Chains A and B, each alone.
Chain A
Amino acid sequence: MTRGLAFDVSHLLAGGMVLLSFVLLYQDRMFGLLKVFAAHALVLALSVAWQANVQDAPHLYLTAAIALAFKAIAIPVALHRIVVRLGIHRELETVVGIGPTILFGMGLVALSIAVILPVTAEADPLAREDLAFALSVVLLGLLMMIARRNAVSQVIGFMSLENGLVLAATGAKGMPLVVEISVAFSILIAFIVIGIFLFRIRERFDTVDVGALDSFRGERR
């Protein structure tokens, strides 16, 4: 096993992303959430840049630059302005309490380690542990989308999920099209953010009121 500096640094960064995913889970203020997400994207950018360095794959620097400029700076700034403009910076509603959510999140991390490590016994240790971290970030992102009601925090959940995917893609050594895929994802996210702003989606979509759902489906009229 090669447990040199390369391994330690990528481990540190990937682990940092999992940790920040947990921080996202317990944030109860909108602006706090945006800041933590920016940090999440920043760590992703560092991690991708490190992979570019270790794998000697200069095109990955481009992915890192996209992550830094777009997700760590542009998107949080845009969302910040939208939140102010729409006046939704009060406390966030959660569907499930914070305590159970965190416990459930810990279960998900254990699950992804239990799923990935035995399956990838033959892969190199760096790739397999990166993959386990990446799956944790993906699952925590999904959990966040379920546990939050408000559209902006669901989008943040989705973006953190997507950060996990980019982590997985860059961890898979020599994977082609990573840059193209990260560009495609950025377009997707840009659309979501524009969508929130244009359509002024506030808390509507996320209501659990069955009556509201009925009228939405046109089945009670």
Chain B
Amino acid sequence: MSGADIAVSGLLAAPAAAAGALALLPNYRLTARLNVGAALLTLLLALSLTMARPAPGLYLHVDDLNIVFIVLTTFVGFTTSAFSASYIAHELEIGRLTPAYLRFYHAMYQTLMFAMNLALLANNIGLMWVAIELATLTTVLMVGIYRTHEAIEAAWKYFILGSVGIALALFGTILVYMAARPVMGQGMEAMAWNALLKAASGFDPALLNLAFVFLLLGYGTKVGLAPLHAWLPDAHAEGPTPISAVLSGLLLNVALYAVLRFKMLLAANAGAIAPGPLMVTMGLVSVLFASFMLYRRRDIKRMFAYSSIEHMGIVTFAFGMGGPLANFAGLLHMAMHSLTKSAIFFAVGHVAQAKGTQKIADIRGLTESHPVLGWGLVLGVVAIAGLPPLGIFMSEFLVVSSTFARAPLLAVALVAGLLVGFGALFLRLHAVAFGEPAGKSAPVEASYVPMFAHLGLVAVAGIYLPGAIVAWFRNVAELLGG
């Protein structure tokens, strides 16, 4: 067994073992630290995989595409666990969570990390499906953890819509196997990504088309693409904030990763429909819909949940356009969005704790009452709205400019959506961040390190992207094809 093989199994074993241990240990200070430690270990293992990769197995593999997602997932997983430690201590103090629920929470956090790593590492369409189902289940349980009427409603809604989504995705998965079987014969090979991709040109195109429709609808529900997004705002608003951060920053990406894999499969078959236009349409509809919906939001977490729909729409749009430049822009935007949105949720979590409310109308003058937190939130919103010189500006600029060259009308629609969303965010930000402070205002004992670490990375990426990362993303963009 080589070092890389150990790293791959460690990537799964570390969160799984941590989940078991965290479910049993009673002391919350210890478990919060253990949670951070396990997440750090997972991150280090993921980073080691960028150096050396194992040979693809029948169940697990590491290639150029999934390594990007794995590094991003484990990194945000680690910083969120650090944020979670300070956030959760406060929740315990005010009695929103009991120690027993906290144990459950930490165990579920690591189970979610395990499920996402498994979904990304899986070299098997069936295994990937099971992993995404597991991720859905754990997040459902965490969304409902506060046991309030609203939280339970949100969890139930997420559960039903998410279950229907993954059910449709399974039907699509079965169809892909049926398309593969006549060419590849029966058995595990006919479900392995690397083998499927090599043989895809011989598959029956009609079956593949049908399969992709089910897969796009199924996994698209989990990405939160309009009109299948209904679960997303509720799930983000009612669950604990660290979970909103991993939902927005990571789980949506994992579902998108599944769609991308199947898109590559279709692209490798000359007779199949082009999957791009379907994704462009769903992406654009999501952007336009979410940016208009941003105006009517009165709950701050719900507002940023709609912003996530908008940004996942942009990413899906970019990947749908295809080609090296748009794919590059899509990848970059996905990474930037994950970092920025989780940083915003870190800030929002502290704001909600300081103010005792999530209602936008009750939060006023944050830069006066909590300067560090307030300006952190301002910086996050400036970043997410796409102002230069931050990272999201650059990726959005790349998406728009690559689209202008090929489909000017689509680019105009996209820009219109972006501007509308921009207006909504600043309208709300102005009231929340500036002016006279109002309402309850408790001091926050929070660690700002995770938030500013993310924002710092986004700021640096906007000005200077290291050549190694550019080359890496460019390589993946080539791989993703048209």
Contact = CB atoms under 8 A, between A and B. Distances in A.
B185 to A, nearest CB: 8
A118 interface: yes
B130 interface: yes
A136 B129 CA distance: 22
Interface string B171-206: 100100110011000111011000000000000101
Interface in B122-179: 124, 126-127, 129-130, 133-134, 137, 140-141, 144, 149-150, 152-153, 155-157, 159-160, 163-164, 167-168, 170-171, 174, 177-178
Interface in A139-173: 142, 145, 151, 154, 158, 161-162, 165, 168-169, 172-173
B181 A174 contact: yes
Contacts of A191: 137, 140-141, 159
A188 B141 CA distance: 12
Which size class do B's interface residues fall under? Answer: 35 or more
Which size class do A's interface residues fall under? Answer: 35 or more
B296 interface: yes
Given A120-B207, A161-B164, A188-B137, A174 B156 contact: no
Interface string A195-214: 10001010011000000000
A interface majority secondary structure:
helix
Nearest to A184: B130
B130 A217 contact: no
A176 interface: yes
B182 A122 contact: yes
B204 A165 contact: no
Interface string A120-138: 1011000100010011001
B396 interface: no
A104 interface: no
Interface of B: 124, 126-127, 129-130, 133-134, 137, 140-141, 144, 149-150, 152-153, 155-157, 159-160, 163-164, 167-168, 170-171, 174, 177-178, 181-182, 186-188, 190-191, 204, 206-207, 209-210, 233-234, 237, 296-299, 302, 358-359
Interface of A: 115-116, 118-120, 122-123, 127, 131, 134-135, 138, 142, 145, 151, 154, 158, 161-162, 165, 168-169, 172-177, 180-181, 184-185, 187-188, 191-192, 195, 199, 201, 204-205, 216-219, 221
27 contacts: A138-B171, A145-B160, A158-B163, A161-B164, A172-B174, A172-B178, A174-B186, A174-B187, A176-B126, A176-B191, A177-B127, A177-B130, A181-B170, A187-B137, A188-B163, A191-B137, A191-B141, A195-B156, A201-B152, A205-B156, A205-B157, A217-B237, A218-B237, A218-B298, A218-B302, A219-B299, A221-B359
